């Protein structure tokens, strides 16, 4: 797996927080998409899941995460909205991530995360935010072992000055 440093631009996102099982992720992604549509917001990117907790530390049905999607804008009566019912709305500032692609089922997902964390530590990055999974589009008939998920780990480079 190739791990690359990349900049994520400022973005607005619509999300729903959960304490539940990752096995329900497809229905949570669908829910966010429906809420975005019902509230006449415009999705401008792929769905994501973001979590702070260690997947091995929490019971499978007690994972703490949010599921969301980048959106074009969010305004209510000409002012930025913070929440529309169950749907949270927030702005993320530009930031740096280490990014890698996980291929296949989520059964061995922690191995991908561990590789990225190890890379961060070995290359003098401080981890400054939650792991985020970007769910890349795949055809309906794509075998599970071929599905790709981008894994992003927010970091700050703390090593020697670079040009």
pLDDT tens-digit series, residues 6-52: 999 999 999 999 988 888 888 999 999 999 999 999 999 999 999 87
- Average pLDDT of 63-89? 85
pLDDT tens-digit series, residues 62-73: 788 999 999 998
Say which residue the tokens 């999705």 belong to: 43
CATH number for the domain whose boundaries are 3-157: 3.20.80.10
- Burial code (b: 16+ CB inside 10 Å, e: under 16) for 57-85 equals eeeeeebebbbbbbbeebeeeeeebeebe
- pTM, 2 dp: 0.88
């Amino acid at each position: 797996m190739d791990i690359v440093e990349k900049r994520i631009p400022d973005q607005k996102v619509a999300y729903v927080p959960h304490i539940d099982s990752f096995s329900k992720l497809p229905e949570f992604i669908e829910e966010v998409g429906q809420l975005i549509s019902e509230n006449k917001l415009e999705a401008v990117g792929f769905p994501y899941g973001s979590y702070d907790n260690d997947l091995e530390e929490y019971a499978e049905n007690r994972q703490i995460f949010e599921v969301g999607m980048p959106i074009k804008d969010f305004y209510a009566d000409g002012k930025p909205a913070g929440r529309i019912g169950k749907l949270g709305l927030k702005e993320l500032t530009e930031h740096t991530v280490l990014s890698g692609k996980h291929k296949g089922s989520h059964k061995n997902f922690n191995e991908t995360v561990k590789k990225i964390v190890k890379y961060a530590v070995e290359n003098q990055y401080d981890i400054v935010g939650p792991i985020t999974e970007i769910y890349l589009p795949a055809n309906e008939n794509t075998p599970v072992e071929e599905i790709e998920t981008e894994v992003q780990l927010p970091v700050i480079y703390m090593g020697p000055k670079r040009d």
